[in-house]
Chains A and B, each alone.
Chain A
Amino acid sequence: MVASIGYYALVITFLASLYGAGAAAYGALKRKPEFVESGRYAMLLTWPLLTVASVAIIWLLTTGHYEIGFVASVTSNSMPTYLKVTALWGGQEGSLVFWAWLMAAFTSAASLRKWDRDRELLPWFIMVTMITLAFFLSLVVFFENPFARLWLSADGQQVTAMLQPTGAIPLNPPDGRGLNPLLRHPGMIIHPPALYLGFVAYVIPYAFAMAALITRRSDDRWIRITRRWTLVAWIFLSLGLILGGRWAYDVLGWGGYWGWDPVEIAALLPWLAGTAFLHSVMVQEKKGMLKHWNVVLIILTYALVLFGTFLSRSGVLSSVHAFAKSAIGPMFFVFIGVTFIVSLSLLINRWEMLKGENFLTSVFSREALFLLNNFLFMGILAVSFWGVIFPLISELITGQKITVGPPFYERANGPLGLGLLILMAIAPLSAYASTTWKTIGRALWKPALVTLLVPITFYFAGIQNPIALLGYTAAALVAFVTLYEFWRGAMARHRRHGETLPLALWRLVGRNRRRYGGYIIHLGVVLMAFGIIGIEVYQTETQATLAKGEQVTLGRYVMTYDDITVFDTNDGRNVARAVVSVYQDGKLVDELYPRKDYYYDSQQAVTIPGTRSMLADDFYVILVGLDPDSRSDATFKVYHNPLVNFIWIGGIVFSLGTIVAVWVSRGRRRANKASPASRSTRT
């Protein structure tokens, strides 16, 4: 009953989105506003309908309706309720519905804006978003139906279908298989929704860009309208990536946070295009340049969002994240191809209209440096994309599968990343139109002089790896330049208005949130770079099989293996929990409990590291295994991860910076409040 309600809600939403797209486009072409209006109502209907479908799935998940194939595959009796709810995005079918639900919510929210000044964009915005939504819904309605029931067919096969196949009898399993234990982690509750929010929110600027092209608007209106949406998309995508790294660090038990896994890259690609977009739109707003390029970037971001979803959902590449091989692969392929080609054709058709209003004049002008930034981001994108598709291409051309591992990405992206860091130090000092090396030099020499102390100090402190020294110097330069910019701005206010320094700093940021929010983001990146270089260059590890009382040494640390207990829990796990003592320079500093949980229902073990986490370093212990004969000798893998916490701290600073940049400024809020009349006339 509930399953049928949910399924028909999906079907109706699918039809409504198709109708919405068609009616809006027809209304715009034939100049019949009543059709556009009708299309808009259809669009506004999608979110409540998808809420019904989502609630139906959640209800089935939490009440143990294991006769539904999806429910049986991601939940089991032993799972706590909150995990049953979040199992919505733990499997293919549910996560596609969740994607569609978020998309409908964002589309509805974006459509509630005031359209007075750009009413002609509305129908095309509806068309683009509703076609995207219809595509995702077609996947769940026709291929990956979360409401399909389990049946035992006449020849004894287990099948899932919405309607009873002839000769089949219904199956009612008493319990489900349960969510993949690796996904039963708090990080996994937030990581996919954050990523999806980022993915979905990028559809909004893309839809506005397409609407602007169709209606032949050559101004930067679409960019101004979607500025905040772009930032929201970007922050969620960034958060999704950072949380994913944290989850990998906590759960996957290999001492790392990023492994250049194809699906990690799939989420990174739209982020790279989106970050380039974020920078280059500023050039269009200020100088009326790069108009074609910005459209290309948003088309690319949209295509990569689809590609990212495709990679993780289609099973085309083997990866830790991949779900099973699925029929939806070709569908995605076609949809990405068609939307990409149609969007680009539209751009080429409107090419003349988007002529730039200015030319580049000076190599050190801000617009030239922004362009360079874009080149570097595109470079990293090209490298990463190449790495993902290279095995497929090589197999296609030579018949031989050739893969590239993390060394490829590190070797090729390393120099580009360093270039970005250096650019981050120089670009904030440049001005639009014309900047000479001299003007930059004048602003740069003081922070550069301070920066010189960093490699010298580090060198004598024992950090002599050239890559680390180079990276730290570049990062330090960014930090000092950025802090100096804050200082200069605050001092100027202090002198001019007589404000106290903290107040001057506060107002400085408040008056130009986008700029100073951006600088705070840069500082977050510096902190992350600090941590990344630390762990990448200076991570050490060792492994040992120990009897109780024995010890293993790693650098300044000594770890003794004290005890182990093995027990069953009431949620279906067998837990092996070791107790180890950690000594630093001969002093007992901590006791850790690395664990291995074996899940009976899915026959899978999950390794949970014991971590002593400090600002300077993490001491990270994994219980690899227990000797089956003695039941007490245990094998440990021990990592020393210097500075890894700076990655997470940097992530927090990064997020704060984005919040500053996205925050509605006081002037704008007042303007909104002052015009209640225009709000109520909004239709």
Chain B
Amino acid sequence: MGEVTKKRTGQGKFLLGGFLIVAAIVYLIASSTQAAAQYYLTIDELFARGEDLGDRDIKISGVVDGDTIQYDVKNLMLRFTIANVPADLDEIEEAGGLAEALHIALEDPHATRLEVEYIGVMPDLLRDEAQAIVTGRMGEDGIFYADELLLKCPTRYEGDVPLQAEGE
């Protein structure tokens, strides 16, 4: 018994060491979350939040209006407008799936719209009624400057993997 207690006394430094490592990991997680967090918003939410988003990167999802797509091939400058799509999964289910929800959102004349500018190659999947997820920041001029453009095209087939393309 005496020997066990003797052995136990040396454990303090290990407990301390373990505690320090755990603290370091928690710190890494917290600080990296702080540094890399991106709000994922709909266009309505973006306009509602407005100023208080500050300088951080935001992710916005919306439906592409095909008529507004302009592409300058020489300068690789892409501009298009996206319309607000509700983020609520149940609402999307109710509308009859993502493809339907996107279609309805685009037809809605009252849906809020956002102009997006992106420098880079135009993805094949950028077309009318595609869902665009853009990451970047709001400019002073009301245009959203995207560094990243992700597209999802729900096909008419239920159960298909959504088409994706990625640009940076």
A contact set with B: CB distance below 8 Å: 73, 91-92, 177, 180, 182, 254, 318, 320-325, 358-361, 363, 368, 371-372, 375-376, 378-379, 382-383, 386, 390-391, 400-405, 407-408, 411-412, 415-416, 543, 545, 596, 602-605, 624-625, 627, 633, 635, 637
Contacts and interface: CB of A to CB of B under 8 A. Distances in A.
Q: Classify the interface of chain A: helix, strand, loop or mixed.
A: mixed
Contact of B36 (A408, A624, A635): A408
B138 interface: no
A382 B32 contact: no
A383 B122 contact: no
Nearest to A70: B159
B8 interface: yes
B35 A411 contact: yes
A511 B41 CA distance: 60
B35 A379 contact: no
Nearest to A605: B124
A407 B35 contact: yes
Contact of B13 (A320, A363, A401): A363
Given A360-B10, A379-B25, A412 B121 contact: no
A132 B158 CA distance: 29
Contacts of A368: 14
Contacts of B123: 624
Interface string B60-84: 0000000000000110100000000
B121 A405 contact: no
18 contacts: A73-B159, A91-B159, A382-B29, A386-B29, A400-B39, A402-B37, A402-B38, A403-B40, A404-B33, A405-B135, A408-B32, A408-B35, A412-B32, A415-B28, A543-B120, A624-B121, A625-B122, A635-B121
B163 A407 contact: no
Given A402-B40, A403-B59, A379 B21 contact: yes
A318 B133 CA distance: 12
A375 B18 contact: yes
Contacts of A403: 37-38, 40, 59
B121 A637 contact: yes
A363 B17 contact: yes
Given A359-B7, A401-B40, A545 B25 contact: no
Contacts of B152: 318
Interface in B4-24: 7-8, 10-11, 13-14, 17-18, 21-22
A365 B77 CA distance: 59
Given A73-B160, A408-B36, A625-B124, 10 more contacts: A325-B89, A359-B11, A360-B11, A361-B10, A371-B14, A375-B21, A390-B33, A403-B38, A408-B37, A411-B32
Contacts of B22: 375
Nearest to A541: B168
Interface of B: 7-8, 10-11, 13-14, 17-18, 21-22, 25, 28-29, 31-33, 35-41, 59, 73-74, 76, 87, 89, 120-124, 135, 152, 155, 157-164, 166
A180 B73 contact: no
A400 B56 CA distance: 15
B31 to A, nearest CB: 8
Q: Classify the interface of chain B: helix, strand, loop or mixed.
A: mixed
A625 B124 CA distance: 7
B13 A404 contact: no
A263 to B, nearest CB: 11
Contacts of A318: 152, 162
Nearest to A391: B40
Contact of A404 (B17, B38, B73): B38
B39 A402 contact: yes
Given A603-B155, A605-B124, A627-B73, A359 B10 contact: yes
A586 B142 CA distance: 46
A365 to B, nearest CB: 10
B40 A408 contact: no
B47 to A, nearest CB: 15
A411 B25 CA distance: 12
Contacts of B7: 358-359, 361
A324 B14 CA distance: 48
B59 A383 contact: no
A207 B41 CA distance: 44
Contacts of B120: 543
- Of listed B14, B89, B159, residue having the most chain A CB within 10 A: B159
B140 to A, nearest CB: 24
Contact of B161 (A180, A378, A405, A407): A180
B36 A411 contact: yes
A412 B40 contact: no
Contacts of A603: 155
Contacts of B87: 401
Contact of A182 (B29, B41, B161): B161
A324 B163 CA distance: 12
Given A545-B73, A604-B163, A625-B121, A404 B21 contact: no
Contacts of A401: 39-41, 87
A382 B25 contact: yes
A395 to B, nearest CB: 9
